[in-house]
Amino acid sequence: IELGLDGPSSSEMRFVILEIMVGELLNRGEHASLMNLFNENLKYLKTVNVDRHIRLLLSISRIYMYAGDLIGAERFHSCAENLMQPLGPENKIAPIRLQLNKGLMLFLSSRYRDALNEFLGVCSMCASVNEADVPSDIDIHVIASTAANNAAICGLHVGEVISAIGVIEQTIQVNP
């Protein structure tokens, strides 16, 4: 939240509250409530900054994944991809989030080799990001650890046990 002289704008506060609500409902598995929340705020969401809109769309994509609806997940993922065009190369986090989400969809589609490649790409992208360029509300190490864990699982599915162990060991060395 950027604080101006008068504190955060009501738009910023509303988005932060929406992010918190999405996280809580997601943790509780209340997918129907999440979709209602999204539909009620659709007009508002069109006014938030692009990076935050992408984050929310990818969260909704994951909600559909958790509910077992890959078509819905892909629809929201595509919306997030379309929003990426105007962001430019200075935004390092949104492409990482998109690739992580793509890997999750591939994993759920039992396309383990493709998912493994996506997760390894996320690990590589995370390693190349300068932490000073990462917003304070994002922990790049959590994203990297998530990708590494998923890469290891995919490695096991495709019979690359040594590679799977290597991914986890490398992640632990970078961020114990």
HSE of 169, CA atoms in CB hemisphere, 13 A: 6
> What pLDDT score does 40 carry?
66
Contact (CB, 8 A) for 167 and 123:
yes
| Confidence class for position 49, pLDDT limits 50, 70, 90 | low
Residues of 130-164 as b/e, b for ≥16 C-beta within 10 angstroms? Answer: eeeebeeeeebeebbbbbbebbbbbbebeebeebb
The torsion defined by the Cα of 10, 15, 19 and 25, in degrees rounded to 10, comes to 80
Of these ranges, 3-12, 29-38, 50-59, 74-83, the one predicted with the greatest mean pLDDT is 74-83
Going by C-alpha positions, the residue among 58, 142, 155 that lies closest to residue 112 is: 155
CA distance 43 to 175: 40
Based on DSSP, count helices (H) and strands (E) in the chain, helices before strands: 9, 0
> What pLDDT score does 16 carry?
63
Instruction: Return the minimum-mean-pLDDT range out of 4-13, 14-23, 116-125.
Output: 4-13
Going by C-alpha positions, the residue among 133, 152, 151, 129 that lies closest to residue 141 is: 129
Residue 99 has pLDDT above 70, yes or no: yes
> What pLDDT score does 35 carry?
67
CA distance 176 to 173: 6
Residue with more model confidence, 44 or 22? 22
> What pLDDT score does 6 carry?
43
CA distance 23 to 170: 29
CA distance 66 to 121: 23
Residue 2 has pLDDT above 50, yes or no: no
